[in-house]
Amino acid sequence: MDFALAILRIATGASIAYHGYNKVWGAGGLAGTASWFAGIGMKFPQMQARVAAFTEIGAGLLLVFGLFTVPASAALIALMIVAIVTVHWKVGYFIFLPNGGWEYCASLVITGTVIGLLGAGSISLDDQIGMADMTGGWAVLFGVGAAVCHLTLTYRPLHNNSEF
């Protein structure tokens, strides 16, 4: 069980960290990411680009190493709920649809939920510092709550995105 949990944590964390890396150092960099955020109706797009990128990098690396795993899971849940609402919901469910549906993001919400409920396991830095037993549904509550607060404060759908 601990080995399977470590594989899940590491694979998910690496993927999320790479998403953040791409926001900073991919084509267009942070300026391109900020422009895209402005285009989907996010207020404070330059700040949003930095916060999204470094939350993805930070939460991803924490998951990889199994350090502060439950808060990292909450961050993953919040990130993906915001992505679903702001970008993917209007497309539909399936990822293969043009512009990508919300299927992939929902899978990551579930993955973050499972990791948050189970904790880091014994193959983790959390285990080394005595935090491996830290688990909890609060990761889900905090993740959902953070997403709702974030969307309420910063998301203003543009007229062409207002079908939600």
Residue 156 token pair = 């203003």
How far CA 29 is from CA of 21, 34, 35, 58, 88, in Å, comes to 9, 9, 10, 17, 21
Kindly indicate the confidence band of residue 160, based on its pLDDT and cuts at 50, 70 and 90. low
User: What is the distance of C-alpha 17 from the center of its chain?
Assistant: 9
Q: Per-residue pLDDT tens for 20-78?
A: 999 999 999 999 999 999 999 999 999 999 999 999 999 999 999 999 999 999 999 99
Q: Let me know: does 86 contact 151? Beta carbons within 8 Å.
A: yes
Tokens 């993917």 — which residue?
A: 88
Residue 125 one-letter amino acid: L
Domain parsing of the chain, residue ranges: 2-159
This prediction has a pTM of 0.93
Please state, in angstroms and rounded to a whole number, the distance separating the CA atoms of residues 55 and 153: 17
Q: What pLDDT shows up at residue 66? A: 97
